[in-house]
Chains A and B, each alone.
Chain A
């Protein structure tokens, strides 16, 4: 069964460092999303991406964040200068027309 994959599963970084979280959506999917979940809180939307551009972003998704689909298969989330409060589980999701969103297993980001 096709699945969304994410790498790494756990990323530890120092405050102020750049991180790139990688996702490989399901191959025929057209809509891509990033969500995050701070420990103990609910999952929050970050950004949606369609047709090679951002279709919507939340207030959380400030200038420190960017997304890219560099090669037609990977979908990346970059945080330019990490803060302590960026520590969270980051989920990628993808969907095709009319389908549910398929979620990746998540990347746990720890900022020290």
Chain B
């Protein structure tokens, strides 16, 4: 069983829509990451969370440690948000990152 699961696998949204991507994990963690991967392949770290909620621009990430669940929200989505969004976890500090399968988001004008 994968240690990190994401839903949905694929998501198509109209520009301006509010988007939620979910992540669940089955192991104890020290931190959870949300990452973005564009079609060119490069990976960008969006957030690292160990509790609560973080906001950066139109992106909001939340985590519920007890439920082993995290969500990434995008408000007022835009076509430039189209990318693969990856949830990943660290079991211990400075540990490797264990990646989820990714959610492919396409925002249509």
CB pair B94–A108 under 8 Å, yes or no, is no
A interface size (C-beta, 8 A): 25
Shortest distance between the CB of A9 and any CB in chain B (Å): 9
CB pair B45–A42 under 8 Å, yes or no, is no
Choice from B48, B95, B99 contacting A43 with Cβ under 8 Å:
B99
B96 within 8 A of A: yes
Q: How many A-B residue pairs have CB under 8 A?
A: 51
CA distance A31 to B42 in the complex (A): 20
CB pair A100–B41 under 8 Å, yes or no, is no
Shortest distance between the CB of A13 and any CB in chain B (Å): 18
Contact with A along B77-109 (1 / 0, CB 8 A): 000000000101000001111111110000000
CA distance A35 to B96 in the complex (A): 9
B43 within 8 A of A: yes
Q: B88's closest neighbor in chain A, by CB?
A: A43
Choice from A31, A42, A56, A58 contacting B99 with Cβ under 8 Å:
A42
User: Nearest 3 CB-CB pairs, A to B?
Assistant: A103-B43, A43-B99, A45-B96
Using A35-B97, A95-B94, A100-B33 as known contacts, list a sample of 8 further A-B pairs with CB atoms less than 8 Å apart, ordered by residue number in A: A42-B102, A45-B97, A48-B96, A50-B94, A89-B41, A101-B97, A103-B43, A106-B42
16 contacts across the A-B interface (CB closer than 8 A): A33-B97, A43-B43, A43-B86, A43-B88, A45-B96, A45-B99, A56-B96, A91-B43, A97-B94, A100-B33, A101-B97, A102-B45, A103-B35, A104-B42, A106-B42, A106-B43
B interface vs A, CB < 8 Å?
33, 35, 40-45, 48, 86, 88, 94-102
